[in-house]
Amino acid sequence: MLIETHAHLDYPDFANDFGDVLRRANEAGVTRILTIGTSIASSRRAIDLAEKNSNIFAVIGVHPTYAKEAGDDVITPLRELAKSPRVVAIGETGLDYHSLPSKATAKDKKVQVFANALQGETEEQIDASIEDGAYKSKQAILFEQQLDLAVELGLNVVIHQRDAWEDTLEMMRPYTDKVRGVFHCFGGSLDQANEVIDLDHLVSFTGIVTFKNGASVRAVAAQIPLWKFMVETDCPYLAPVPFRGKRCEPAYTRLVAESIASAREIPLQELADATTETAEKFFRFDRG
Query: Taking the CA of residue 268 as centre, how many other CA atoms within 13 Å lie in the half-sphere pointing to its CB?
Result: 12
pLDDT of residue 224: 98
What kind of architecture, by CATH, is found in domain 2-287? Alpha-Beta Barrel (3.20)
Nearest CA among 181, 178, 209 for reference residue 195: 181
Q: Domain segments of the chain: what residues?
A: 2-287
Distance CA 81, CA 74 (A): 11
Distance CA 198, CA 245 (A): 35
Is there a contact between 32 and 60 (Cβ–Cβ < 8 Å)? no
pLDDT of residue 127: 61
Residues of the chain with pLDDT under 70: 104-128, 288
Is there a contact between 225 and 197 (Cβ–Cβ < 8 Å)? yes
pLDDT of residue 119: 53
Is there a contact between 271 and 222 (Cβ–Cβ < 8 Å)? no
pLDDT of residue 72: 81
Is there a contact between 59 and 158 (Cβ–Cβ < 8 Å)? yes
Please report, for residues 60, 62, 159, 204, 265, the alpha-carbon distance to residue 223 in angstroms, rounded to integers and kept in the order given.
31, 32, 21, 14, 11
pLDDT of residue 131: 81
Provide the residue type at 190 as one letter: L
pLDDT of residue 261: 98
Q: What is the pTM of this model?
A: 0.91
Distance CA 168, CA 181 (A): 11
| Other C-beta atoms lying within 10 Å of the C-beta of residue 279 | 23
pLDDT of residue 209: 98
Nearest CA among 223, 233, 216, 215 for reference residue 264: 223
